[in-house]
């Protein structure tokens, strides 16, 4: 029986495409569109979770991940 969990997808434009990153496991992918980058990331994460050892999953998993804007003084 399959289960599902929710993870973070951080997606940003790079050159002519988009890079996607799941910071909880440091798994990344890319695509030509935001939707493709997200879909490719989901596939990469599923493959990682299916093939990695329980120990590797436990070591790489960062359950507290925050994405936030911050103000920085320059000059």
Nearest CA among 2, 28, 30, 4 for reference residue 17 = 30
In this prediction, residues 20-28 reach a mean pLDDT of 97
Q: What is the arithmetic mean of pLDDT over 33-46? A: 98
pLDDT of residue 11: 98
Question: What is residue 1's predicted lDDT score, i.e. its pLDDT?
Answer: 78
Q: Above 90 in pLDDT, residue 30?
A: yes
pLDDT grade for 3, boundaries at 50, 70 and 90: confident
The dihedral formed by the CA atoms of 13, 17, 36 and 43, expressed in degrees to the nearest 10: -90
Average pLDDT value over all residues in the chain:
96
């Amino acid at each position: 029986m399959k289960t599902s969990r929710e993870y973070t997808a951080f997606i940003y434009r790079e050159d002519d495409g988009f890079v996607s990153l799941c910071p909880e496991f440091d798994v990344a992918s890319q695509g030509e569109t935001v939707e493709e980058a997200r879909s490719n990331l989901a596939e990469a994460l599923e493959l990682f979770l299916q093939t990695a050892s329980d120990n590797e999953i436990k070591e790489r998993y960062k359950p507290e991940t925050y994405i936030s804007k911050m103000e920085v003084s320059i000059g």
